[in-house]
C-alpha cells in the first residue's frame, strides 16, 4: 500500500545540527527510516528479526542484486537522495520484470559517510517507497542493513514471483520472432549528456544548482536521475508469450547482442523504429526499458512496439544489424568512466 | 557440491603486472570469479541472466542481508580476501540459521578499488565457497554484482528454506524455558583484542606480518577473522521445538536483552555456564553463535548447552540477569569504533 511521504514527514521541524548518522546512531536512524519503507503484500515476516520471510507462491523466487556506488554510478551534486532511492528501486525492479516476474520484495543495504544527515536517508527511503508504489505496487522492503563508509554505497536485492510461468531468459529468441521494446531509448543518456555539458560550474565541476535549473528545463535530466521503467510490462510480456527478454541497462546495441549470442540468432533492427536519434537509442544505457522477442502472431502487450525481426544466422555468427548493416555492440555503457572523487 | 580451491586454481601461473580489476575489466574478472563460486542444490537459474531463480519448496523463503565495509567491519592488514569471503558467508548463513531455516542460496555484491588484484577476488570467492561447503553444504551463489569503489565493500544477501516450519523468532521465549547457546562465546572478541594489542607495528598500526604470526600462535585470532558458527544447529533447534532464537552478533548481554524485551520475559543466565571469562562471553560479539530458548522437557540438540532459564518478569521490566544480578546490555559491539582510514 502506498503511503505518501507527506503523511509521514513532520512539517517544518527544526533539525538539530548533529542530526547525522554518526550523531544519531544506527538504531535511532533505522527507527526513523523503517516507517517510511513500503510494506509488501507478500511479506510474511518483515524487518526486525535476524531475517525476513517472504511468500513464494509457486515455490520459486526470482532474485537480482545491484550496487550503486558514488563515483562510478552517481554524483551527489546531481542526484538527490530521493533520486537514489527511486533509481535503486527502478534498476532492480526492471531486472525482476525482465524475467517475466511480478516484483514482490526488496532488501536494501546502505553504507554512508558518518556525517550524512539522517534526513538524507529519510529522503532515500521516500524515493524508494514512491518508486515502488509507481513501478511495482504491492512490493515491499523486508529488510536491510546500515553501515558507515567513506563511500556512499547502495546495495539492493529484489525478488519476484513467476506466478507459475517459466522465466523469460535471453536464449529463447527464434527466427521469425518480432523484436520489440517497451520504454524509452536513449533518454537517460541524453539527460546525462546535458548534465555533463550544462550541469556544471564554469570549471566543469558538477554543480547542484546548475543541475537543478537544468532539470527544471528538460525532463530527460530528471529521467536520467530517476527513471521510471515499464516494470509491469515484464509480466505482460511473459503472459503474451515472449520468447526472450532483458532489461536495457547497457544500451540497445550491446543488450541486443547478448540476446543474439545467447539465442544463436541475428537481431535485425530498423533505424526508423528507433526514434529521432537512432545512434543515441543504440548506445545509450540506463533507461532500464525492456527488450523482448515475441512470436510473429502475438499482439504486442502494454507499451511494447516493434523495432525489428529475429533472423537465422544462415551459418554466420550471431549478430545485431541496423537496416541490414552489422553494428558493433562492444564497449558498453560506462557513463562515469572519467569520474574522479574530486568531481562531485 | 564442494569443489576444493586447489581443483580450480592454476598452479604457479605468472600473474601479469596489470592483473587488477581495472586492468582486466568487469566481464573478464567475473569470468574468473564465477567458476569458483558454489553451485547450489536449490538453484533453478544461476548467474548470467537479468536475475536468478531459486527453489522455495514450502512457498516461502527466508532472506537476510549484511554489509561488510573496510574500516567499520574489517582491516585489510588483518583479514585476507579468503577470510572476507568466509566471514561474509558465516555472518549471513548464521542469520538464516537463526530463523530455523536451511540455507539455500546467496547473492554477493562486491565493490572494490580498481587496483585490487583479480587474484584477491578469486581468493574471496574461494573463501566464500569453502565457507559454504563447511557451514551450509548445498547452498550456492546464484548471482552478484561487481563495481569499482574507493572503499572495499561486501554486500551479501542469503536465503533459506523453512521446510514447512514456522520461523523461530525472538518473541517466543516463555517462563520456564531453558536458555541455551550453541557455539563460541567471546572467542572472536578475544581474537580481536589480541590483534589490537599484538597484530600491530611499533607505532600501533595494524600490520599484516604481525597478524599472520599471531594467527599461527593463537587460534582465536583466526576465529575472529573467519569464524565457523554452528549453522546446521539452527535447523536442529527448530526441529527440537525452540521457542525463540537469534544469532549472537552483538554479544550475549545485548542479544539476550533483545529476546527478553521481544518476549516480555527475564533471561536468567548462570555465570558458571559462561566459561572461564563470563565478562568476555557477555560482551564479545561476532561469534555468530546461536542463542535459543527451549521448553524445559526438550533434549538440547546439536551443540546447544544450557546457560540459564527464562523467568516471568513478575510485573517488572524485561531484563537479563547473571547469577541474579541485572546486567546492562546497552552499548553494543562496535569493535572498529576508533578506526581511521590510515590504520590498515
Give how far Cα B247 sits from Cα of A72, B90, B134, B170, B257, Å: 35, 11, 18, 10, 13
Is residue B32 pLDDT above 70, yes or no? Answer: yes
- Pick from A65, A245, A341: CB nearest B150: A341
Rounded to the nearest 10 degrees, what angle do helices B118-135 and B81-97 cross at? 30
CB pairs under 8 A between A and B: 204
pTM: 0.90
- Pick from B110, B151, B247: CB nearest A151: B151
Under an 8 A CB cutoff, do B50 and A99 touch?
A: yes
Under an 8 A CB cutoff, do B144 and A56 touch?
A: no
Give how far Cα A30 sits from Cα of A121, A144, B153, B229, Å: 9, 10, 20, 27
- Confidence at residue A329, expressed as pLDDT on a 0 to 100 scale: 63
Is residue B340 pLDDT above 50, yes or no? Answer: no
Give residue-wise pLDDT tens across range B201-222.
999 899 999 999 999 999 999 9
How long is chain B? 344
Low-confidence ranges of chain A (pLDDT < 50): 1-14, 331-332, 337-343
Give residue-wise pLDDT tens across range B44-96.
999 989 999 999 999 999 999 999 999 889 999 999 999 999 999 999 999 99
Give residue-wise pLDDT tens across range A32-64.
999 999 999 999 999 989 999 999 999 999 999
* Residue B200: φ, ψ to 5°: -135, 165
Give residue-wise pLDDT tens across range A224-233.
999 999 999 9
Q: Which of A155, A235, A246 to mutate to probe the B interface, most B CBs <10 Å? A: A155
- Residue B288, H or E segment: none
Between strands B102-112 and B153-161, the pairing is antiparallel
Q: Given CB atoms, is B72 within the 8 Å cutoff of chain A?
A: yes
Q: Given CB atoms, is B66 within the 8 Å cutoff of chain A?
A: yes
Please state which of the ranges A215-219, A221-225, B6-10, B26-30 shows the lowest mean pLDDT: B6-10
Q: List, as ranges, residues 119-178 from A with C-beta within 8 Å of B.
A: 142-151, 153, 155, 157-160, 162, 167, 169-170
Q: Given CB atoms, is B63 within the 8 Å cutoff of chain A?
A: yes
- Confidence at residue A12, expressed as pLDDT on a 0 to 100 scale: 40
* Residue A235: φ, ψ to 5°: -65, -40
> By CB neighbour count within 10 A (0-12 exposed, 13-18 middle, 19+ buried), where does A174 fall?
middle
* Percentage of chain B exceeding pLDDT 70: 90
Is residue B306 pLDDT above 60, yes or no? Answer: yes
- Confidence at residue B328, expressed as pLDDT on a 0 to 100 scale: 78
In chain A, helix, strand, coil percent, each to 5? 35, 25, 40
Under an 8 A CB cutoff, do B169 and A49 touch?
A: yes
Between strands B266-269 and B319-322, the pairing is parallel
Collect all residues with Cβ–Cβ distance below 8 Å to B59 and sequence separation of at least 6: A55, A56, A57, A58, A59
Q: Given CB atoms, is A63 within the 8 Å cutoff of chain B?
A: yes
Please state which of the ranges A17-26, B120-129, B322-331 shows the lowest mean pLDDT: B322-331
- Pick from A59, A105, A246: CB nearest B56: A59
Which chain A residues are within 8 Å of B142, Cβ to Cβ?
A: 63
What are the helix (H) ranges across A199-335? 208-217, 219-225, 232-240, 252-263, 278-283
- Confidence at residue B72, expressed as pLDDT on a 0 to 100 scale: 86
- Minimum Cα–Cα distance from A337: chain B residue: B148
ipTM of model over 0.85: yes
Q: List, as ranges, residues 175-214 from B with C-beta within 8 Å of A.
A: none
Q: What whole-number distance in Å separates Cα of residue A152 and Cα of residue A74?
A: 10
- Confidence at residue B17, expressed as pLDDT on a 0 to 100 scale: 60
- Minimum Cα–Cα distance from A250: chain B residue: B50
Give how far Cα B340 sits from Cα of A103, B75, B225, B337, Å: 40, 10, 19, 9
Under an 8 A CB cutoff, do A150 and B150 touch?
A: yes
Which chain B residues are within 8 Å of A142, Cβ to Cβ?
A: 63
Which chain B residues are within 8 Å of A335, Cβ to Cβ?
A: none
Under an 8 A CB cutoff, do B147 and A72 touch?
A: yes
Amino acid at each position: 500500500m502506498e503511503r505518501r511521504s507527506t503523511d509521514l514527514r513532520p512539517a517544518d521541524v527544526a533539525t538539530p545540527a548533529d542530526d547525522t548518522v554518526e550523531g544519531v546512531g544506527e538504531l535511532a536512524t533505522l527507527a526513523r527510516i523503517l516507517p517510511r519503507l513500503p510494506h509488501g503484500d507478500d511479506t510474511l515476516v518483515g524487518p526486525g528479526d535476524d531475517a525476513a520471510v517472504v511468500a513464494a507462491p509457486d515455490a520459486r523466487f526470482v532474485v537480482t542484486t545491484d550496487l550503486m556506488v558514488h563515483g562510478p554510478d552517481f554524483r551527489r551534486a546531481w542526484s538527490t537522495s530521493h533520486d537514489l532511492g527511486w533509481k535503486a528501486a527502478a534498476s532492480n525492479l526492471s531486472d525482476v520484470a525482465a524475467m517475466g516476474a511480478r516484483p514482490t520484495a526488496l532488501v536494501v543495504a546502505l553504507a554512508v559517510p558518518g556525517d550524512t544527515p539522517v534526513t538524507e536517508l529519510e529522503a532515500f527511503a521516500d524515493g524508494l517507497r514512491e518508486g515502488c508504489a509507481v513501478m511495482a505496487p504491492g512490493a515491499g522492503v523486508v529488510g536491510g542493513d546500515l553501515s558507515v563508509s567513506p563511500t556512499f554505497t547502495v546495495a539492493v536485492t529484489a525478488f519476484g514471483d513467476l506466478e507459475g510461468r517459466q522465466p523469460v531468459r535471453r536464449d529463447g529468441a527464434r527466427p521469425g520472432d518480432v523484436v520489440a521494446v517497451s520504454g524509452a531509448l536513449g533518454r537517460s543518456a541524453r539527460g546525462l549528456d546535458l548534465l555533463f555539458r550544462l550541469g556544471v560550474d564554469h570549471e566543469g565541476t558538477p554543480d547542484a544548482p546548475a543541475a537543478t535549473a537544468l532539470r527544471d528545463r528538460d525532463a530527460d535530466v530528471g529521467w536520467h536521475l530517476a527513471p521510471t521503467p515499464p516494470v509491469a510490462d515484464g509480466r505482460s510480456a511473459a503472459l503474451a508469450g515472449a520468447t526472450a527478454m532483458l532489461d536495457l541497462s547497457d544500451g540497445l546495441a550491446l543488450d541486443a547482442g547478448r540476446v543474439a549470442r545467447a539465442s544463436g540468432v541475428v537481431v535485425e533492427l530498423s533505424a526508423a523504429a528507433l526514434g529521432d536519434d537512432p545512434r543515441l537509442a543504440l548506445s545509450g544505457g540506463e533507461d532500464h526499458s525492456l527488450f523482448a522477442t515475441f512470436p510473429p502472431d502475438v499482439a504486442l502487450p502494454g507499451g511494447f512496439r516493434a523495432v525489428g525481426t529475429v533472423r537465422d544466422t544462415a551459418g554466420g555468427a550471431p549478430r545485431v544489424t541496423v537496416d541490414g548493416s552489422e553494428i558493433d555492440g562492444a564497449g558498453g555503457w560506462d557513463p562515469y568512466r572519467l569520474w574522479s572523487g574530486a568531481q562531485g
